[in-house]
Amino acid sequence: MTGKIVCSFRSYWGKVSSGRCCDIKAAAMFDCIWAALGAIIGIGIITYLTFLQGIPVLVASLGASACLIYGVPEAPFSQPRNVLFGHLISAVIGVALYQMFGNNWLTAAVSVGVAIGVMLRTGTVHPPAGATALIAVITQQGWLFPILPVGVGVCILILVGILVNNLAVNRQYPRYWF
């Protein structure tokens, strides 16, 4: 880690205007349908529990997790370790900061920043989990939040990911557990 900051506009502009093109290719139709099917099943189970049983299992950031688990199951951020621990770490951080400092703009911002820093340090980065910390603060959550809805919801998505992704010959989930 050098800790240096870009000092000249020319150097800064050279980094911003990289001149490269996006190298993400469009997915094959089969993968698009398979990803949609996984998301429908995973999010469907979670919303079914929420609406039918009145159990609060739905957290908006789980929709983004579904995109990763079912859309790009081979990506490092999609693996169970990152999904589970990223969300749990962020939920605990969000709840802790809300409980200590209340619901305000600074607590919301700090919860996301701290969650990102801790996920990076622990090797459990899961981008949607940053939103979980934010949701914990802005919806004024208590200590049950990391378990229900976050923990239960994440486990449902991972289990459906294992079941659905591995039914397809060309898909594997997970690539690794830890």
**22 occurs within a structural domain:** no
Residues 6+ away with beta carbon under 8 Å from 165: 34, 38, 69, 70, 73, 171, 172, 173
Q: State which residues form the domain around 93.
A: 28-165
Residue 126: the pLDDT is: 98
**11 occurs within a structural domain:** no
- Please write the tens of the pLDDT for every residue from 61-72: 999 999 999 999
Q: The tokens 């969650």 sit on which residue? A: 115
Higher-pLDDT residue of 92, 169: 92
**7 occurs within a structural domain:** no
Task: Please state the pTM of the whole predicted model.
Answer: 0.89
**151 occurs within a structural domain:** yes
Residue 9: the pLDDT is: 76
Alpha helices in the chain (DSSP H): 9-16, 29-53, 61-71, 80-101, 105-122, 128-138, 152-165
Residue 178: the pLDDT is: 86
Cβ atoms 114, 133 nearer than 8 A: yes
**3 occurs within a structural domain:** no
Number of structural domains the chain divides into? 1
pLDDT bucket at 118, cuts 50 / 70 / 90: very high
